[in-house]
């Protein structure tokens, strides 16, 4: 086209920031409208006592060509490759021995790999109503495990919800392949995402016009005024201001799109509306609790020379199977999973447990703390009453010890946050019929027809859907689409991404 486009980006999360970076490098004029008073979107930190914690993503999924891993290395961000030391607390509150825990855990992960392969191979014929739980349950029944071992396997598998944000019974088997991650290790970001976010946001903060506290309430595409012209798109802010641009990139979360389809004029095409409605939005939340000391970590390697500590005596992960000793509201599964942040490298370690909650349980917690002051005793008591039945089952707990009494607690509330889309990230639930095509429709957006493009983790290459890497790559892809349309360069862009999945064994270019 020959002209330098004037581009608006709605949202300053990872996808919007990366999109801005690429557009700026290739000569576009960029304005970002951000509803919050900060950049980062769902990537955000807070202080818990003296410790900095991530309220959003904690992990980098996959290595190799992962740009977030590369940025972590450049910024000297500390990553931890957690392995082993998985304590499993049974339904009666007692720890399983390491061999038994390893047996059921290994079975779970082997079955997950088999389910990925099965989903990839038989996606066309798997009924939409069939769940991952159905597949897993059948696999359990075919084993020669004891009745008790089978029961433990079933209870352990429910912790899949802590990965996707909703119960395993809701996980689509047909499109389970879309939950598959990049090959390579999964790293916990021990020193938080803060410096990674600083790095990704630098170009936008320096060279884009970022307008904070400016929610967009209307996205109006104006028809071309002549045969050789394109649509203009006018944005209306919550205060009634209007701004017109050549192109608009909507990097808002999928949950926001679900609730704000009416913001688009003309109304969205039926197939795009169907895609937005069909992909689900997860309910993953976190609760942090910090103590004077990590009482659950046995610091004495042994009273016997050469003795090895059990996973229970020094856990990295602790999984609490459906607890008979702690019941939530009727009908809500109350199993829990936590990570010990005392197991991080020494300069990042602190005596804190990070609990992941999901589905109805997380929704219940969020609803209870929604109207409480986080500094109030009522807030503290509610969260402590929720967590105490679990942390009190860990090694070293003593009810009378001051070291076992929490200093501070914090619960995320993404489901109460309209700018996060009232949730965490996309997932793929039973009933989904065209999940892969839905993602492709979201990626295509309305760019060529209306000058409205989409970015965000829900538009990522299949292997990075729902991840920070996916958000980053999606912003790069949306910027590339605009650069190509206007004949701009490809400065700063990486290699072309594809939709290959590790278990599929074939290459498939991303749209």
Q: Which domain-ending residue is among 365, 386, 419?
A: 419
Task: Read off the CATH number of the domain in which 451 is found.
Answer: 3.50.50.60
The string of pLDDT tens digits covering residues 304-330 is 455 678 999 999 999 999 999 998 899
Question: Strand, coil or helix: what is 239?
Answer: coil
Give 231's pLDDT tier (boundaries 50, 70, 90). Answer: confident
Residue 393 shares a structural domain with residue 297? yes
Residue 373 shares a structural domain with residue 411? yes
Whether the per-residue pLDDT at 118 is higher than 50: the answer is yes
CA distances from 464 to 35, 348, 461, 505 (A): 25, 27, 6, 16
Q: What is the percentage of the chain residues whose pLDDT exceeds 90?
A: 88
Residue 318 shares a structural domain with residue 458? no
Does 164 or 495 have the greater pLDDT score? 164
Whether the per-residue pLDDT at 279 is higher than 80: the answer is yes
Residue 324 shares a structural domain with residue 414? yes
The string of pLDDT tens digits covering residues 375-406 is 999 999 999 999 999 999 999 999 999 999 99
CA angle 80, 78, 83 (to 5 degrees): 5
Residue 265 shares a structural domain with residue 329? no
Query: Helices 14-25 and 194-207: crossing angle, nearest 10°?
Result: 40
CA distances from 24 to 19, 206, 308 (A): 9, 10, 55
Residue 410 CB burial class (10 angstroms; 0-12, 13-18, ≥19): buried
Residue 99 shares a structural domain with residue 168? yes
Instruction: Answer for the pair 66, 182: CB distance below 8 angstroms, yes or no.
Output: yes
242 inside domain: yes
Give 507's pLDDT tier (boundaries 50, 70, 90). Answer: very low
Give 502's pLDDT tier (boundaries 50, 70, 90). Answer: confident
Sequence-ordered strand ranges (E) for 285-351: 285-290, 317-320, 336-340
Residue 343 shares a structural domain with residue 202? no
Q: Which domain-ending residue is among 419, 453, 476?
A: 419
pLDDT of residue 226: 66
Residue 396 shares a structural domain with residue 452? no
pLDDT of residue 1: 55
CA-closest candidate to residue 251, choices 52, 471, 493, 499: 471
408-411 and 285-290: which strand pairing? antiparallel
Q: How far apart are CA 383 and CA 289, in angstroms?
A: 9
pLDDT of residue 506: 43
Across 45-54, 180-189, 382-391, 489-498, least confident range: 489-498
98 inside domain: yes
Whether the per-residue pLDDT at 247 is higher than 70: the answer is yes
Instruction: Answer for the pair 348, 190: CB distance below 8 angstroms, yes or no.
Output: yes
Question: Strand, coil or helix: what is 64?
Answer: coil
pLDDT of residue 508: 46
- Type and span of the H or E element at 411: strand 408-411
Residue 263 shares a structural domain with residue 226? yes
Question: Can you read off the two tokens belonging to residue 135?
Answer: 């597949």
Instruction: Please state, as a whole number, how many other Cβ atoms lie within 10 Å of the Cβ of residue 509.
Output: 10
CA distances from 74 to 25, 199, 353 (A): 20, 9, 28
505 inside domain: no
Residue 327 shares a structural domain with residue 411? yes
59-61 and 186-189: which strand pairing? antiparallel
Q: How far apart are CA 125 and CA 270, in angstroms?
A: 25
Residues 478-498 have a mean pLDDT of: 91
Whether the per-residue pLDDT at 160 is higher than 90: the answer is yes
Q: How far apart are CA 125 and CA 129, in angstroms?
A: 12
The string of pLDDT tens digits covering residues 31-51 is 999 999 999 999 999 999 999
Can you name the residues that pair with 509 across neighbouring β-strands? 498
Domain count, the chain: 2
Considering the chain, what is the average pLDDT of its residues? 95
Q: What is the percentage of the chain residues whose pLDDT exceeds 70?
A: 95
Residue 104 shares a structural domain with residue 243? no
Can you give the residue range of the structural domain that contains 472? Answer: 6-41+193-279+432-485
Residues 185-201 have a mean pLDDT of: 98
Contacts of 207 (CB under 8 A, 6+ apart): 24, 30
502 inside domain: no
Whether the per-residue pLDDT at 504 is higher than 90: the answer is no
pLDDT of residue 299: 77
Question: Can you read off the two tokens belonging to residue 130?
Answer: 């069939």
65 inside domain: no
Residue 289 shares a structural domain with residue 391? yes
74 inside domain: no
Residue 440: phi and psi, rounded to 5, are -65, -40
Residues 120-139 have a mean pLDDT of: 98
pLDDT of residue 306: 54
pLDDT of residue 503: 66
Q: Rg of the chain over CA atoms, in angstroms?
A: 24
Residues 189-209 have a mean pLDDT of: 99
pLDDT of residue 223: 74
53 inside domain: no
144 inside domain: yes
Q: Which domain-ending residue is among 419, 448, 471?
A: 419
Whether the per-residue pLDDT at 495 is higher than 80: the answer is no
Question: Can you read off the two tokens belonging to residue 427?
Answer: 């997932």
């Amino acid at each position: 086209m020959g002209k330098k486009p004037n581009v608006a980006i709605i949202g300053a999360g990872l996808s919007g920031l990366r999109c801005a970076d690429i557009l700026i490098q290739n000569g576009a004029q960029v304005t970002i409208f951000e509803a919050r008073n900060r950049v980062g979107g769902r990537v955000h930190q807070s202080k818990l006592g003296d410790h900095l914690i991530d309220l959003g993503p904690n992990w980098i999924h996959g290595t190799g060509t992962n740009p977030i891993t590369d940025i972590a290395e450049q910024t000297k961000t500390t990553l931890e490759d957690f392995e082993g030391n998985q304590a499993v607390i049974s339904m009666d509150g007692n720890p399983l021995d390491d061999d038994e825990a390893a047996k059921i855990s290994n079975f779970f992960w082997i079955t997950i790999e088999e389910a990925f392969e099965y989903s990839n191979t038989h996606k066309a014929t798997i009924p939409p109503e069939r769940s991952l739980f159905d597949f897993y349950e059948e696999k359990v029944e075919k084993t020669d495990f004891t009745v008790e071992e089978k029961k433990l396997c079933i209870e352990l598998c429910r912790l899949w919800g802590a990965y996707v944000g909703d119960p395993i019974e809701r996980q689509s088997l047909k499109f389970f392949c879309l939950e598959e991650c990049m090959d390579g290790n999964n790293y916990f970001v021990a020193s938080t995402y803060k410096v990674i976010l600083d790095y990704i946001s630098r170009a936008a903060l320096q060279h884009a016009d970022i307008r904070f506290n400016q929610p967009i309430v209307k996205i109006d595409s104006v028809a071309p005024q002549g045969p050789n012209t394109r649509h203009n798109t006018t944005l209306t802010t919550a205060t009634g201001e209007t701004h017109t641009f050549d192109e608009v990139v909507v990097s808002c979360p999928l949950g926001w799109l679900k609730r704000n389809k009416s913001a688009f004029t003309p109304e969205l095409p039926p197939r795009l509306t169907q895609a937005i409605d069909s992909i689900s939005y997860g309910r993953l939340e976190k609760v942090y609790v910090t103590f004077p000391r990590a009482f659950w970590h046995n610091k004495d390697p042994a009273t016997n020379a050469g003795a090895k500590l059990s996973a229970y005596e020094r856990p990295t992960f602790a999984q609490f199977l459906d607890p008979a000793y702690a019941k939530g509201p009727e009908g809500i599964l109350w199993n829990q999973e936590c990570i010990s942040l005392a197991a991080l490298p020494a300069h990042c370690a602190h005596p804190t447990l990070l609990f992941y909650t999901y589905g109805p349980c997380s929704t219940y917690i969020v609803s209870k703390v929604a109207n409480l002051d986080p500094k109030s005793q009522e807030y503290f008591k509610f969260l402590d009453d929720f967590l105490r039945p679990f942390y009190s089952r860990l090694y070293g707990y003593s009810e009378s010890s001051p070291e076992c009494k929490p200093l501070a607690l914090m619960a995320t509330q993404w489901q109460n946050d309209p700018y996060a889309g009232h949730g965490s990230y996309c997932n793929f639930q039973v009933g989904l019929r065209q999940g892969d095509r839905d993602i492709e429709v979201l990626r295509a957006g309305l760019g060529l027809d209306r000058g409205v493009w989409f970015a965000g983790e829900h538009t990522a290459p299949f292997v990075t859907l729902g991840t920070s890497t996916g958000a980053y790559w999606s912003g790069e892809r949306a910027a590339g689409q605009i650069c190509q349309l206007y004949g701009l360069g490809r400065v700063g862009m990486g290699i072309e991404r594809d939709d290959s999945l590790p278990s599929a064994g074939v290459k498939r270019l991303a749209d």
